Amino acid sequence: MSDLFSLLESLQSPVIKTRRNAVIDLGKSKNPDAVLPLIAALSDKNPVIRREVTVALGRLDDERSVPSLIAVLTDTDPDVRAGAVSALGKLKDRRAVLPLTQCLRDDNDRIRAGAAEILGKLNDPRAVDSLKNASNDPFEHVRDSVNLALNRLLGK
């Protein structure tokens, strides 16, 4: 793995593969100094980079990334939104509960299912009504995730 300075420089590269590799290595670095540059990289024009940044931030497990990951829940790319849901699940920060309830209405069923799963794990009663509203989702795997979350939250 390269040194932090080189990786941070690589985040500015015009070459997508170079930026992607830098993001991956920064996520694996466990270096808290990588968090803020990665948060800045969430605005990269390439969705592949933004998706990798969500993964890297989830790995770094730093609460400073929570507000930015919440903001990315509205990204235009579903893979980026899914990455943000997953990263927020790893961070286990209750600030994400209400934004994740909004994800239960996402156009993408994978994001709805992921949000329900994370809400169940966060075990916050503020999610109950939104989960109940999502219990009639047209996709079985989403309904299953919603029901598991509700069972956990309601102690069944």
Q: What is the CATH number of the domain that holds 39?
A: 1.25.10.10
Tell me: do 97 and 141 sit in the same domain: yes
Q: pLDDT tens digits, the chain, 156 residues: what are they?
A: 458 899 999 999 999 999 999 999 999 999 999 999 999 999 999 999 999 999 999 999 999 999 999 999 999 999 999 999 999 999 999 999 999 999 999 999 999 999 999 999 999 999 999 999 999 999 999 999 999 999 999 987
26 and 6 Cβ atoms separated by less than 8 Å: no
Indicate whether 22 belongs to any domain: yes
Indicate whether 86 belongs to any domain: no
Indicate whether 133 belongs to any domain: yes
Give this prediction's pTM.
0.93
Nearest one of 80, 89, 78, 145 to 117, comparing CA atoms: 145
Tell me: do 48 and 100 sit in the same domain: no
Task: Please spell the DSSP secondary structure of 31-87, one letter per residue.
Answer: -GGGHHHHHHHTT-S-HHHHHHHHHHHHHHT-GGGHHHHHHHTT-SSHHHHHHHHHH
The whole domain housing 113 covers 92-156
Domains identified in the chain, total number = 2
Indicate whether 83 belongs to any domain: no
Domain stops at, among 72, 104, 130 = 72
